[in-house]
Amino acid sequence: MRDLSKAMAHLQRHESSWQQRPLLSFGEFLQEVVQNPERVIRDVYQVYTDMVQAHICEGVDEYNGDPESINYLSYDCNRLFAEGSDRPFFADRLFANRFMRHVESLAVGAQQNKIYIFDGPHGSGKSTFLNNLLQKFEAYANTLEGARYEVIWRLPQPDIALGTLPLPTSFVEKVMQLLQDEERSVLKGGMNPGIVEPDQERWLNIPCPSHDNPILMIPKDVRPQFFDELFGNDAFKWRLHAEKQFEWLFRDEPCTICTSLYEALLRQYKDPEKVMECVFARPYIFNRRQGEGVSVFNPGDKPARDNVIRNDYIQPCLDALFTGSRPVHYVYSRYAKTNNGIHALMDIKSHNTGRLMELHNIISDGVHKVGDIEERVNSLLFALMNPEDKKVLTDLQALSDRIEYINIPYVLDLKTEVDIYRAVFGRHIEESFLPRVLHNFARVIIATRLTPHSEAMREWIKEPEHYQLYCDKDLLLLKMEIFTGYIPPWLDGKDVERFTAKRRRKIILDSEKDGWDGLSGRDSIKMFNEFYTLYGREDKLIDMTMLGVFFRKYCKEDPDFLPKGFLDSLLRMYNYTVLQEVKESLYYYNKEQITRDISNYIFAVNFEPGSSAVCTYTGDRLEVGEAFYQQVESRLLVSESEAADFRNSIQKSYTTVALPQEIIRDNRAIDETSLFQQLHDRYIHTLKTKVLEPFIDNENFRRAVKDFDLEDFKTYDRKIQNDVTFMIDNLQRKYGYSRQGAKGICSYVIDNNLTRVFNQD
């Protein structure tokens, strides 16, 4: 027999989870309040914002210290919207910023009693977004970190419930039924069936259907003094009075049921303290499927015939307990179940149109009638909407002060668009593309979603023609870079200067008009699938030519598919970028790298060729030899015949002046010695004059690139071999090319004569 005790131990652990805690008396509850005020005293807005902040770390500003920054930050929303979900939602940077502003406004308690409508076109992933958000909310609210308490009244069991009073048979049957099913634990036994108190049968537990926080049972007029006493002089007391997020504590009333229970008990006991002895606290447990705390309505869900919920067990008990005094009506609506929680409508159409109107009326008036009694609803209200449904709801215009729209259009940030392809098709897709080509696929998709005319962009860039080598005439490519939070290096200094906070804000605000048309999320995945099936092969990487051929076919079918000339501009921008990469890879402008090269060289000339040494100045391991020397010497314009003398003179200068005098005696760093300075100046001079020379003038170099990795490559002179190898290595290391891709891109630069097209510095 297998020992199952270990497996069963897991059950024990589950049993002891937060949700299973026994009821707390009001006194015990207050102890919790004092110990964890920030956790226990939260309304739904606070729990919601805490939940988001627990999942999304602080945003990142790539240009830290930029005085014109508008806090358009990069947020990692994966933990909130993607992780652990069957269908991940990908928030692009624009939406993430919009969403975080919405959350921040709730966090400070600025906007309440509003309906937040997420408005976006078909296929923008709205329902995935909302489902994932609610799933995370439900899970969080049921953890210790997100937990709150709700009130449960414990009253003496009236005789009626013990069966001593004659009851109509049907009623007795109903009670029996109730006692058997799951409600039994809720109504009769507290939360933990494992801890049955011996006198449990004497008590009748009445939960508040509105999930009121037990703290609200303190009568409103004495709350300020009560909290002053409760918190003594600790810091929290001051926050409580000062911060808007705690206003509800002084403002909110308990629900009508709790209020009338309190009053009825006070009439009976004539002692508020005794009344409070009936107040207990239990965890507020969220359950979307049962509509407790979180409830989601689909357009097709039929409205309940009767929205008045009664309880056939509790009501007779209450009537028996309070005979002769004013009756307590245990009556509530469906809305009570999501009080202090989230009420959401998927798509405003069909039955949800009516629900939206009803919700709107409820929050405008603050209360609504359920049977004879008034019910207050304080829920976080969400809805989803398609643009065309907005037109149908003409009445909505009149209601708009209670409604806040948060746009959720198609993805406009190319990094996010690429993340979607990776998530859907697997990370390996990248290996089939030359670097940047996959992102260019995303650029084309996003271009179909952008409005070609942006006032804000035109106001910023006075002469778009000036950038025709890198950007399209409508500046869509530039706009996309801005959306990803990137300021491209090809922008002129004066335009970078004009890129003020005010203009940035205008451009981001203008983006609200983008992403409503063009290829939907679903369309783009379909199109990527078609493209990848067609061109993704093992022997050849996907390049810009294939991309052009593929999309030109669509442009032919539909002339409005893309703005005219967009694909040409995209290719030019690509060419420019590729040329920069090749340039950077052939020579280092990088100050740090130059310093490294020269320091290593000075150190290495002290060693015999063939030896291996660790450079004292850089920590690099050097394989000293001809190849190593030549790499630096070619940049210092030292010919092969001069090389031996040159090395000797460097070594002499190092051992007689630089090392003993400047470094040891004067305590200078290697790059502060005159020897270093001299080599450095010579190095830079060569760099500036020679950058792309081999590509333009040297037929041997061009041929060597094409013969790279082939047998013939060994027939070229040493310098050419070194340079080509160096360039290819750098393209791989710095720009993520494969060896084959790096060779391909160099041939591409040669074949397309890019060095002449972009004849600039």
Q: Site residues (CB under 5 A) for Zn ion?
A: 208, 210, 212, 254-255, 258
**Secondary structure (3-state) at 207:** strand
Whether 283 and 18 have beta carbons less than 8 Å apart is answered as yes
- Rounded to whole angstroms, the Cα distance separating 189 from 281 reads 13
Whether 604 and 615 have beta carbons less than 8 Å apart is answered as yes
Closer residue to Zn ion (CB): 366 or 489: 366
Whether 309 and 334 have beta carbons less than 8 Å apart is answered as yes
Q: How far is the CB of 26 from Zn ion (least distance, A)?
A: 14
Whether 261 and 153 have beta carbons less than 8 Å apart is answered as yes
Closer residue to Zn ion (CB): 258 or 359: 258
Closer residue to Zn ion (CB): 255 or 675: 255
Q: How far is the CB of 210 from Zn ion (least distance, A)?
A: 5
Q: How far is the CB of 216 from Zn ion (least distance, A)?
A: 8
Taking alpha carbons only, the member of 534, 528, 536 closest to residue 432 is 536
- Rounded to whole angstroms, the Cα distance separating 435 from 542 reads 9
Q: How far is the CB of 259 from Zn ion (least distance, A)?
A: 8
Q: For residue 638, what are the CA distances in angstroms to 35, 139, 683, 724?
A: 76, 69, 11, 18
Closer residue to Zn ion (CB): 258 or 383: 258
Closer residue to Zn ion (CB): 210 or 353: 210
In terms of Cβ atoms closer than 10 Å to its own Cβ (0-12, 13-18, 19+), residue 96 is buried
Q: For residue 682, what are the CA distances in angstroms to 9, 98, 667, 686?
A: 74, 52, 25, 6
Q: How far is the CB of 211 from Zn ion (least distance, A)?
A: 8
Which residues, in sequence order, are CB contacts of 379 under 8 Å at separation 6+? 44, 335, 338, 339, 340, 341, 342, 343
Phi, psi at 193, each rounded to 5°: -65, -20
User: Which residues face 374 on adjacent strands?
Assistant: 369
Closer residue to Zn ion (CB): 212 or 347: 212
Taking alpha carbons only, the member of 56, 66, 198, 80 closest to residue 137 is 80
Q: How far is the CB of 205 from Zn ion (least distance, A)?
A: 14
Around Cβ 485, how many Cβ atoms within 10 Å?
19
Q: How far is the CB of 212 from Zn ion (least distance, A)?
A: 4
- Rounded to whole angstroms, the Cα distance separating 542 from 24 reads 65
Q: How far is the CB of 185 from Zn ion (least distance, A)?
A: 20
Q: How far is the CB of 348 from Zn ion (least distance, A)?
A: 30
Whether 62 and 415 have beta carbons less than 8 Å apart is answered as no
Q: How far is the CB of 150 from Zn ion (least distance, A)?
A: 8
Closer residue to Zn ion (CB): 309 or 357: 309
Q: How far is the CB of 285 from Zn ion (least distance, A)?
A: 16
Q: How far is the CB of 153 from Zn ion (least distance, A)?
A: 9
Phi, psi at 281, each rounded to 5°: -125, 140
Closer residue to Zn ion (CB): 52 or 208: 208
Closer residue to Zn ion (CB): 141 or 152: 152
Residue-level length of the chain: 761
At residue 447's C-alpha, the angle toward residues 442 and 453, to 5°, is 155
Closer residue to Zn ion (CB): 373 or 384: 373
Closer residue to Zn ion (CB): 120 or 214: 214
Closer residue to Zn ion (CB): 212 or 472: 212
User: Which residues face 296 on adjacent strands?
Assistant: 344
Sign of CA dihedral 661, 666, 669, 675: negative
Half-sphere exposure of 546 (CA within 13 A, CB side): 19
